[in-house]
Structure 1
Amino acid sequence: MNNRQLFLSHLAQTTDFPLLIEIEKAEGIYMYGPEGRKYMDLISGIGVSNVGHRHPKVIQAIQGQLDKYLHLMVYGEYVQSPQVKLAKALTDTLPAHMDNVYLVNSGSEAVEGALKLAKRYTNRREIISCVNAYHGSSHGSLSVGGNEIFKRAYRPLLPGITNIEYGNLDHLDQINEGTAAVIMETIQGEAGIRVAEKEYFQALRKRCNETGTLLILDEIQAGFGRTGRFWAFEHFDIVPDILVCAKGMGGGMPIGAFIANKELMGAFKNNPLLGHITTFGGHPVSSAASLATIDVILEGDLIGQVESKANLFKKLLVHPKIKSIRNKGLMMAVEFESFEVLKPIIDRAIEKGIITDWFLFCDDAMRIAPPLVITHAEIEIACQIILQSIEG
């Protein structure tokens, strides 16, 4: 059997209509099929390849670590250079009091750890999240998701979860002294790139302070330069109590983290000890790749280029069928009339070598979130092909 047949026969499927694009190689913003067919990746593997595919510095870091050691021991027991250097590099991007990093394997696992930490530290049980939020698909992360379509087949989920509307000031009074944490995407991703006002975030932070509620900000998609700041919360002059990250963190390797201050994170050490455990969290190869990714983002001024690149997309993507473009940096949603209008456009774009997608909870908008290394010339090519795909 060929690879396509093996994929359909033996790899667990998540839909009846996978893309079935076979990739043999990827580099920069491009992926290549078996016959050398070239695809421009405008979604970064869903927010992962912020520095592009197989960035040379990331590959060098991976190869260097392969010659030293792989997994040694469950997380948190041995002093491993890639882990501690990465933790220091992460905290250097944050306010001084956010000085403690728990490394895990993925965004969902980071959310799980953050929720546990909030409950343990506050000794409260109620969690508030947002309508149309997406925080992952494990039981705990699914519980704080905000779309019933994805949840109803798996109930009962965690009790004590309340959904509020993202950006709605009137809903903040639902945060009270019984709330352990509010978990929120700084920029709502799967809802189709929704960005709340600065006033809202200021009021959210104030209400959490008043009620002793921890604020968990999920930057699994929005972090690592994606929005034009290293962290998206920097746009709003607030600081979370717990920060969750993954996706663009590893340069293509699996890794995630939740970050807080040392006192808060210390809640995991006692009653019970080993309050959160991971075997592979902070894998040395993934940690080395993540450290190199941070260096590439900061040293290459990729963040400083985000706004001009986003503006070029918005300038060029003008068409009667495009209703609006929502964005925060290179986290973009191009809105059409309906899914029925959008889906053939996406299919034609793929046929022409441009990979894009829609959103889980917003199927009338095209996702654009290219690697930050995309050039202005490549953006012009991508937009030209998208416009051709709209025309048919």
Structure 2
Amino acid sequence: MTQLGDYFHQNLAQTSDSPIGLEISRAEGSWLVAADGRRYLDFIAGIGVSALGHGNAEVLEAIAAQARRHLHVMVYGEYVIESQVMLARRLVELLPRPLERVYFTNSGAEAIECALKVARKFTGRAGFVAFDGAYHGDTMGALALAGNRAMREPFGALPGPVTHLPFDDVRALDKIDSTIAAVIVEPVQAEGGVRIPETGFIRALRERCDRAGAMLIFDEVLTGFGRTGKMFALEHFGVVPDIVVMAKALGGGLPLGALCSRNEVLATLSHDPPLGHITTFGGHPLSCAAGLASVNVIVRDGLCERAATTGKTIVRRLIAMRAPEIAAVRGLGMIVGIEFHDASLAHRFVAATLVRGVIVNWTLNADNVVRLAPVLTITSDDVNFAMSAMDKALDEIRR
């Protein structure tokens, strides 16, 4: 282990008992290069952040140009900052009406917190509904929505009340009533095991929220910006939520979150009291400049359509392996889940794939499912490399 690796274990707070511990020297395209010179194919795109791959030239130039102008100048929302305004404008162009106003945050979890506050203030109600298997972040309010009880319980009483319903079960939606401020749902449950709901469930959810007077919040933190083969996953279902939450790929590799809603909904933040939700670094000029460049490349280069085609290829090739260890393969665009018959097989597969130079990971709320989420610009050669590595990893774990 290098001296830097020693400092990593001695001085940096750890988030697991066994971190991967790769010492990354540089990254380019779909690849990470470790300090020992080994190359690793990033088949999870930094958990969905690096949609264009690492080191996209147009994003880097946008960052450099903004850095030459100015960095932080005032808390978000007080000055007219070109990169903030133009990114908000671009997002509104890409989202369906009546979603027309954007609030920027630092991260997805902060955007979730803001959405919960807005829903309570706008409706005058207290309750929330989330779903089993859900993941919306790790701040206290977001954690209260988590569909995995084991993630919630160690932290004691969490904000609420929150009712958890079965995911993709239309019959359970009757529980949404006049006490509920908002229902929050992922159009694809990524940490829940890449679970893709039926269109009928999402449409019934929209109808039930309308009847109950509850707001519908879509968490598109991972599914946004081409990941599912559409710019936003909501396009697959023909439903417009009241609030869309975005992050991860939004910032082009830099920290950025946002929520988008109707004018009258987000206007509640500006009065009674004013400054009802403020953030010092949310919508940082560098992040917004990078995000605008990234979004424009995704649209210009047809990366949504490319994600749809490449994702189908990955699913088809995984199924063709006919591995007895795999119970199911499912995907929507370039978010793919490999469900193993038990968690130990999934964990061994992740380790065996890493040894062969490909980074994948299992999901928080379904640790028998391995998630794939490669960069949207991945080449066919890189896909072939990943498929070969995974095929060999399957051979190893069955020995």
Q: 2:247 corresponds to which residue? A: 246
Asked if the contact 1:133/1:145 (under 8 Å) is kept, the reply is: yes
- 1:76-131 CA-to-partner distances (Å, cap 9, x unmatched) read 10000000000000001012321100000100000000000000100100011111
Give SS of 2:218's match.
Answer: strand
Note if contact 2:136-2:142 (Cα within 8 Å) is conserved in structure 1.
Answer: yes
Tell whether the 8 Å contact from 2:225 to 2:249 is kept in structure 1 after alignment.
Answer: yes
Show the counterpart of 1:119.
Answer: 120
Measure how far apart 1:202 and its partner are. Answer: 1.0
The residue type paired with residue 11 of structure 1 is L
Aligned-partner residue type, residue 34 of structure 1: A
The correspondence for 1:354, drawn from 341, 354, 358, is 358
- Verify: 1:49 aligned to 2:50, yes or no: yes
Amino acid paired to 2:69? K
Letter in 1 for 2:25: E
List runs of 5+ in structure 1 lacking aligned partners: none
Query: Which residue in 2 is equivalent to 1:93?
Result: 94
Superposed displacement of residue 269, structure 1: 1.0
Q: Which residue of 2 aligns with 1:384?
A: 388
The one-character-per-residue Cα deviations of 1:190-237 (angstroms, maximum 9, x if unpaired) are 111111111111111111111111000000011110000000011000
- Which among 321, 340, 343 is matched to residue 325 of structure 2? 321
How many residues align? The count is: 392
Given that residues 316 and 380 in structure 1 are in contact (C-alpha distance below 8 angstroms), is that contact kept between their aligned partners in structure 2?
Answer: no
Q: What percent identity do the matched residue pairs reach? A: 39
Native 8 Å contact 2:315 2:336 kept in 1:
no
Q: CA deviation at 1:322?
A: 2.2
The residue aligned with 1:304 is 305
Partner of 1:341: 345
The CA deviation at 1:270 is 1.0
Q: Which amino acid aligns with 1:117?
A: V
1:76-87 to 2 correspondences below 5 Å: 76-87=77-88
Q: Quote the residue 1:154 is aligned against.
A: 155
Contact 1:53 1:251 in 2 (8 A): no
Normalising by the residue count of structure 2, what TM-score does the alignment of the two structures yield?
A: 0.97
Alpha-carbon offset, residue 320 of structure 1:
2.7
Which residue of the partner structure matches residue 131 of structure 2? 130
Match of 1:28 in 2: 29
Amino acid across the alignment from 1:309: T
Q: What is the CA distance between 1:343 and its match in structure 2?
A: 1.5
Q: Which residue of 2 aligns with 1:371?
A: 375
Using structure 1 for the length normalisation, give the TM-score: 0.98
Instruction: Name the CA distance, whole Å, in 2 between partners of 1:322 and 1:387.
Output: 12
Cα distance in 2, alignment partners of residues 339 and 199 from structure 1: 30
CA distance in 2, matches of 1:220, 1:250: 11
Is the Cα–Cα contact under 8 Å of residues 311 and 334 in structure 2 kept in the other structure? yes
Aligned counterpart, 2:64: 63
Listed as ranges, the gaps of 5+ residues in structure 2 are none
In structure 2, what is the Cα distance between the partners aligned to 1:130 and 1:296? 34
Query: 2:168 maps to what in 1?
Result: 167
Residue by residue, what CA displacement relative to the aligned partner does 1:339-371 show, whole Å, maximum 9, x if unpaired? 211222211211111000100011112110000
Contact kept? 1:312, 1:376, Cα under 8 Å = no
Aligned-pair CA distance for 1:16: 1.3
- Distance in 2 between the 1:142 and 1:320 partners? 35
Residue 9 of structure 1 aligns to which amino acid in structure 2? Q
Tell me how far 1:315 sits from its aligned partner: 2.3
For 2:179 and 2:365, locate their aligned partners in 1 and report how far apart those are by CA, in whole Å. Answer: 29
Distance in 2 separating the partners of 1:124 and 1:170:
23
RMSD: 0.9
CA distance in 2: counterparts of 1:248 and 1:225, whole angstroms: 9
Q: Is the 8 A contact 2:189 2:195 kept in 1?
A: yes
**Partners of 2:355 and 2:119 in 1: CA distance:** 46
Q: State the shift of 1:304 in Å.
A: 0.9
Quote the residue 1:274 is aligned against: 275
Q: Report the secondary structure of 1:137's partner residue.
A: coil
Aligned to 2:231: 230
**Structure 1 contact 54–251 (Cα < 8 Å) conserved:** no
Distance 1:144 1:244 in 2: 14
User: 4+ residue runs of structure 1 moved beyond 6 angstroms?
Assistant: none
Residues 181-260 of structure 1: pairs in structure 2 closer than 5 A: 181-260=182-261
Q: Distance in 2 between matches of 1:275 and 1:313?
A: 45
SS at match of 1:196: coil
What code does the residue aligned with 1:142 have?
A: L
Rounded Cα–Cα distance in structure 2 between residues aligned with 1:189 and 1:342? 16
Question: Amino acid of the residue matched to residue 362 of structure 1?
Answer: A
